[in-house]
C-alpha cells in the first residue's frame, strides 16, 4: 500500500496521534520513576538538588492525585468543545468540511498532550507505594512540569478551536489545500507525457482488451501512477482507465482496460488503485471546489441569508480557477522512458471545473444580485489572467450565466449593476461586439 495513502489515513484518524502520545508518556513515566529511585538513593545527588523539589509520600500522592483528576477534567472539557465544533461544521458549513477539522494536527497534538499527561500522572501515582525504600520523592516535581505544559496546550487549543470555527479561516484553509492540490497536479504533468498520435498509431480500439473490475465499492481516491507505469513496462502492458480519481465505483465496475495482458497478473493492477468509503482530500481539486461551493450554498439558504460568506467563497473559487487555467491541459497519455505509450488516464477539463464551481450557486443564488455580481467578477478575474483559449471557455460559460439572469425579474438599479459587470467581463474575454445583444 502507498506510504502516502497510509499517512493520510493516519492523519484523518482522530485517535492515532493521541494514542501515540499516551504510549510515549507511559514510557516516560516508567523512566521518571527509575530516575526518582536513582536520585533518592544517592545521597550525594540529593544534596546538589534544591530541597523544594522533594516531597514525602503523603504529599506526593496528594499532588499526583490532584494532577491526574484535573487533567482528566481538562481532557473531558476539550473533547466536549471539539464535539461542539464538529456539530457546528456539520450544521453550518458542509459535512465534507469535517474532514479538515479532524485532520488538523494541532488539535490532535493538544488532545494527545492531555491524554499523555493524565497517563503520566496516573502511572506515577501507582508507583508511589508503601514498600518504597525511601520516603522522599522527586516525581511530583516532574508531574507539575508536565501539568504546566498541558495548561499551556489547553490555552493554545481553546484559542485554536475558536479560530477554526470562524468561517473565513475555514474558507482560507480549504483554498490553500486546493491550491496545493493544483500544484501537485502540475508537478505530475511533466512525468513522461505522450502525444495523442501515440494513441492513434497503436489503433487500440480495434484490438481486444481485458477488463479489470473492482473488487470493492467506494471512491477512487488515489492512483500510484509512477509505479503503475513501471509495472506496465515490466509486463509490456498498455492500460486505459475507465474511471478517474473522484469517481464512485461498485463491485464489478470496470476500472481499467488492459492490452497485451493475461489473467495471471491483471488483478495486480488493483494494488495501485486505492478506494475509500468517503471522498477524502488527497490531491483532489474537485473535492476542494465542492466544499467551497457547499459553504456558499449554506450561506445563501433561506434560513441563513449570509451572502457575504457566499461572496467570499466565490472569490476563492475564482482564485482556484485562475490557477487551474494557468496550467496547460493535462495530457491523458503517459509513456515510459523509451517513449512507448503505457497509461491513458483522462482528467477533467477546465470547462468541467468551471461548471462544477458555479452551477449550483447560480441556481440557488440567481435572485441575489450581490451573489451574481460576484460570479461575474470571478469570471472576469479568470479571463483577465489567461490566454484567448481560456477566455473563450469563460465566455461560453458566461452566456449560460446570462441566460439564467434574463429569466429573473430585476429592478432598474440591479439591471444597471449587472450590465456594467457583464460589459467588463466581455472586455476581459475580448467579446465586446457580442455583449450588447445579451444585456438585461
Specify the CATH number for the domain of residue 267: 3.90.1170.30
Number of domains, the chain: 3
Pair 150, 299 in one domain: no
- For residue 416, is it within any domain? yes
- In whole angstroms, give the CA distance from residue 122 to residue 128: 10
- For residue 338, is it within any domain? no
Among residues 126, 147, 165, the one where a domain terminates is 165
What phi, psi does 258 have (nearest 5°)? -125, 130
Q: 24 pLDDT exceeds 90?
A: yes
Query: Taking residues 208-227, what's their average pLDDT?
Result: 83
- For residue 182, is it within any domain? no
Q: Please give the pLDDT value at position 312.
A: 93
User: Which positions ≥6 away from 8 have C-beta within 8 Å?
Assistant: 280, 282
- In whole angstroms, give the CA distance from residue 173 to residue 89: 14
pLDDT digits (tens, 9 = 90+) for 34-70: 888 787 776 566 667 777 777 777 888 888 889 889 8
- Three-state DSSP class for residue 216: coil
Pair 235, 306 in one domain: no
pLDDT digits (tens, 9 = 90+) for 121-139: 988 888 776 545 567 778 8
Pair 214, 148 in one domain: no
Among residues 119, 148, 165, the one where a domain terminates is 165
Strand partners, 343: 239, 334
Q: Which has the closest alpha carbon to 361: 349, 370, 350?
A: 370
pLDDT digits (tens, 9 = 90+) for 278-312: 776 666 788 889 889 999 998 888 877 888 999 99
- For residue 189, is it within any domain? no
Which of 149-163, 255-269, 334-348, 360-374 is predicted with the least confidence, judged by mean pLDDT?
255-269
Pair 254, 238 in one domain: yes
Q: Structural domain of residue 312, as residue ranges?
A: 284-328+348-438
Q: 365 pLDDT exceeds 80?
A: yes
Is 115 within 8 Å of 18 (Cβ atoms)?
yes
Helix (H) or strand (E) holding 185: helix 167-188
Helices (H), 262-409: 263-266, 285-299, 307-325, 350-364, 369-384, 388-406
Pair 255, 290 in one domain: no
Sign of torsion, CA 366 369 372 376? positive
Q: Please give the pLDDT value at position 200.
A: 55
User: Which positions ≥6 away from 164 have C-beta within 8 Å?
Assistant: 85, 101, 104, 107, 170
**336 Rama class: left (phi>0) / alpha (psi -120 to 50) / beta:** beta
Distances 96 to 100, 254, 356, 380 between C-alpha atoms, Å: 8, 27, 16, 29
- For residue 103, is it within any domain? yes
The grid coordinates of residue 27 equal 514510557
DSSP 8-state secondary structure symbol assigned to residue 204: G
Pair 160, 11 in one domain: yes
Is 245 within 8 Å of 220 (Cβ atoms)?
yes
| DSSP secondary structure letters along 242-283 | SS-TT-EE-TT-EEEEEES--HHHHGGGGGGEEEESS---SS
Q: Please give the pLDDT value at position 255.
A: 86
Pair 230, 155 in one domain: no
- Three-state DSSP class for residue 219: strand
User: Which positions ≥6 away from 162 have C-beta within 8 Å?
Assistant: none
- In whole angstroms, give the CA distance from residue 409 to residue 161: 43
- For residue 136, is it within any domain? yes
Count CB-CB contacts under 10 A for residue 6. 11
Q: What is the pTM of this model?
A: 0.79
Helix (H) or strand (E) holding 425: helix 412-428
Pair 293, 402 in one domain: yes
Q: Which has the closest alpha carbon to 36: 109, 143, 119?
A: 143
- For residue 28, is it within any domain? yes
Pair 249, 323 in one domain: no
Query: Taking residues 100-105, what's their average pLDDT?
Result: 74
Q: 317 pLDDT exceeds 90?
A: yes
Pair 288, 267 in one domain: no
Pair 65, 134 in one domain: yes
- For residue 220, is it within any domain? yes
- In whole angstroms, give the CA distance from residue 38 to residue 24: 21
Indicate the length of the chain as a whole number: 440
Among residues 276, 308, 338, the one where a domain terminates is 276
Pair 296, 405 in one domain: yes
The grid coordinates of residue 354 equal 468551471
C-alpha count within 13 angstroms, C-beta hemisphere, residue 282: 26
Amino acid at each position: 500500500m502507498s506510504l502516502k495513502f497510509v499517512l493520510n489515513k493516519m492523519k484523518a484518524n482522530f485517535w492515532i496521534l493521541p494514542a501515540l502520545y499516551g504510549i510515549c508518556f507511559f514510557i516516560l513515566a516508567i523512566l521518571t520513576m527509575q530516575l526518582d529511585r536513582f536520585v533518592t538513593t544517592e545521597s550525594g545527588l540529593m544534596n546538589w538538588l534544591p530541597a523544594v523539589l522533594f516531597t514525602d509520600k503523603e504529599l506526593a500522592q496528594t499532588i499526583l492525585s490532584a494532577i491526574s483528576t484535573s487533567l482528566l477534567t481538562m481532557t473531558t472539557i476539550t473533547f466536549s468543545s471539539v464535539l461542539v465544533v464538529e456539530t457546528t461544521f456539520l450544521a453550518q458549513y458542509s459535512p465534507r468540511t469535517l474532514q479538515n477539522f479532524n485532520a488538523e494536527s494541532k488539535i490532535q497534538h493538544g488532545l494527545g498532550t492531555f491524554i499523555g499527561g493524565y497517563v503520566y500522572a496516573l502511572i506515577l501515582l501507582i508507583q508511589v507505594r508503601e514498600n518504597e525504600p525511601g520516603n522522599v520523592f522527586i516525581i511530583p516535581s516532574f508531574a507539575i512540569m508536565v501539568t504546566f505544559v498541558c495548561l499551556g496546550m489547553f490555552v493554545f487549543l481553546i484559542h485554536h478551536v475558536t479560530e477554526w470555527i470562524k468561517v473565513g479561516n475555514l474558507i482560507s484553509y480549504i483554498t490553500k489545500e486546493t491550491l496545493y492540490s493544483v500544484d501537485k497536479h502540475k508537478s505530475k504533468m511533466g512525468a513522461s507525457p505522450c502525444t495523442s498520435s501515440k494513441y492513434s498509431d497503436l489503433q487500440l480500439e480495434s484490438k481486444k482488451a481485458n477488463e479489470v473490475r473492482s473488487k470493492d465499492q467506494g471512491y477512487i481516491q488515489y492512483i500510484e501512477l509512477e509505479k503503475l507505469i513501471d509495472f506496465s513496462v515490466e509486463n509490456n502492458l498498455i492500460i486505459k482507465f475507465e474511471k478517474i480519481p473522484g469517481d464512485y465505483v461498485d463491485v464489478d465496475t470496470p476500472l481499467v482496460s488492459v492490452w497485451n495482458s493475461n489473467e495471471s497478473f491483471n488483478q495486480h493492477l488493483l494494488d495501485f488503485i486505492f478506494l475509500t468509503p468517503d471522498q477524502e482530500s488527497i490531491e483532489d481539486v474537485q473535492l476542494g471546489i465542492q466544499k467551497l461551493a457547499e459553504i456558499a450554498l449554506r450561506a445563501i439558504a433561506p434560513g441563513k441569508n449570509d451572502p457575504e460568506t457566499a461572496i467570499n467563497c466565490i472569490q476563492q473559487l475564482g482564485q482556484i480557477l485562475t490557477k487551474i487555467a494557468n496550467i496547460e491541459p493535462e495530457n491523458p497519455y503517459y509513456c515510459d522512458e523509451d517513449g512507448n505509450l503505457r497509461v491513458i488516464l483522462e482528467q477533467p477539463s477546465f470547462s468541467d471545473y468551471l461548471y462544477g464551481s458555479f452551477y449550483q450557486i447560480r441556481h440557488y443564488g440567481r435572485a441575489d444580485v450581490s451573489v451574481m455580481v460576484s460570479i461575474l467578477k470571478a469570471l472576469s478575474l479568470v479571463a483577465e489572467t489567461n490566454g484567448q483559449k481560456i477566455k473563450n471557455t469563460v465566455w461560453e460559460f458566461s452566456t449560460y450565466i446570462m441566460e439564467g439572469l434574463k429569466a429573473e425579474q430585476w429592478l432598474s438599479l440591479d439591471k444597471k449593476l449587472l450590465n456594467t459587470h457583464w460589459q467588463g467581463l466581455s472586455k476581459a474575454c475580448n467579446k465586446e461586439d457580442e455583449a450588447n445583444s445579451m444585456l438585461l
